Amino acid sequence: MLQPEVPPRPSDVTDLPFTVSPAAKVHPTPGPRPTLAAVQRSHWEACRRLTMIHGRTFYFASQMLPAAKKRAIHSAYAFCRVADDLVDREHELGTDLVMTRLAAWEEQLDYPVDPVAIAYANTRDRYGIPIQPNRDLFTGVRMDLTQREYPTWEALREYCYCVAGTVGLITAPILGARSEDALPYAVELGIAMQLTNILRDVAEDARLGRLYLPLEDLASFGVDPTSILAGAPTGNFTGLMRFEIERARWFYESALVGYASLDLVGQFATLASAHLYGKILGQIEALEYDVFRQRAHVSTFHKVREMPYIMRSVARIQLSASR
């Protein structure tokens, strides 16, 4: 039986096995950051609305945070979401225009004038969020404009780091990460969640001409890539999906080790987000892996029903830490 290939965990965050284009690191000298007073209530509200509309599980989990951290998390999500939404408009706007707008949005990291960017700049200053994960995020979203398929798991893992592992690094300080030892686990959780996105959205991405599942894995299960793009996968597609779900669950499980490094509210929010997002994998299984028939999701009712489990999980972390 094929076993999902998983990476060795890096000893620290600087040891992460991903390369980033040097061109992505060339930027103008940053301008002054806005002070807390410069951020208006409407700026935070714009971030909250973006998160509520586009990141329902993320928004649900954020409700466990105190007001200041909730605003910060919403601003981080909203800033990243704007970049992601630009890429999704490629068919409407054209690749060149999307690239231009992405470059303009990335400049907002240095010279924030948009309400979302102003709020996020405040968050970065307040919580000491490093700039490099933000640069790597833009490297990742640009991959969606230049790369339509991924030949190997290594190639897909790099993409997952750039578009989602970076979000783990961005949010870790907000969630109270007390040690840099927690950062590789934050990356692993981001990768787990991005793999979940990929498995849930196989059909939607195929309609856009995108195929994220590694071609080497498709070959192992006799699945023709063009058949997925056509919406009628050949070969052992069910086996392929089982294989990729097992890989995603490995990352969720591995990331658990890092939760103890977060503060209490950070543990609640992170556990809720990870547990509820991971439930999407179970929904795919319940659909018998037919992601072309129906999009897997977890209802609000089921999210609320999972809260006792999440609370018990946090209690176990606290108990273990006190020993």
Task: Please give the DSSP secondary-structure letter assigned to residue 20.
Answer: -
Does residue 321 surpass a pLDDT of 60? Answer: yes
Cα 122 to Cα 113: distance, rounded to the nearest angstrom: 12
Question: Average per-residue pLDDT in the chain?
Answer: 88
Residues 45-93 have pLDDT tens digits of 999 999 999 999 999 999 999 999 999 999 999 999 999 999 989 989 9
Coil, strand, or helix at residue 211? strand
Q: What is the mean pLDDT of residues 192-201?
A: 97
Q: How far is CA 42 from the centre of its chain?
A: 26
Separation between Cα atoms, residue 82 and residue 236, nearest integer Å: 37
Residues in the chain: 323
* Beta carbons within 10 angstroms of residue 109's beta carbon: 19
| Cβ atoms of residues 57 and 303 within 8 Å | yes
- The first and second tokens of residue 297, run together, are 């999701």
pLDDT of residue 316: 86
Q: Is 52 exposed, middle or buried (0-12, 13-18, 19+ CB in 10 A)?
A: middle
Distance CA 154, CA 6 (A): 9
**At 149, is the secondary structure helix, strand, or coil?**
strand
Give the number of other CB atoms < 10 A from CB of residue 269.
Answer: 28
Share of the chain above pLDDT 90, in %: 76
Would you state the pLDDT for residue 22?
A: 35
Q: Which of 130, 80, 73, 76 is nearest to 102 (CA)?
A: 80
Is the pLDDT assigned to residue 250 strictly greater than 80?
yes
Residue 149 has pLDDT above 80, yes or no: yes
Neighbours of 30 (CB within 10 A): 12
Distance CA 110, CA 27 (A): 9
Mean pLDDT score, 298-305: 90
What pLDDT, on the 0 to 100 scale, is given for residue 21? Answer: 33
More confident residue, 141 or 33: 141
DSSP-H helix ranges across 174-229: 183-200, 202-207, 215-220, 225-229
Neighbours of 297 (CB within 10 A): 12
Kindly give, in sequence order, each residue whose CB lies less than 8 Å from that of residue 30, ignoring residues fewer than 6 positions away.
109, 110, 111
Q: What is the mean pLDDT of residues 174-202?
A: 95
Domains of the chain by range and CATH? 39-146 (no CATH), 148-323 (1.10.600.10)
Question: What is the C-alpha end-to-end distance of the chain, expressed in Å?
Answer: 40
Radius of gyration, alpha carbons of the chain = 19
pLDDT score at 24: 32
pTM: predicted TM-score of the whole model, two decimal places: 0.86
> Which residue type is seen at 194?
Q
| Structure confidence at residue 14 (pLDDT) | 35
Give pLDDT, residue 319: 79
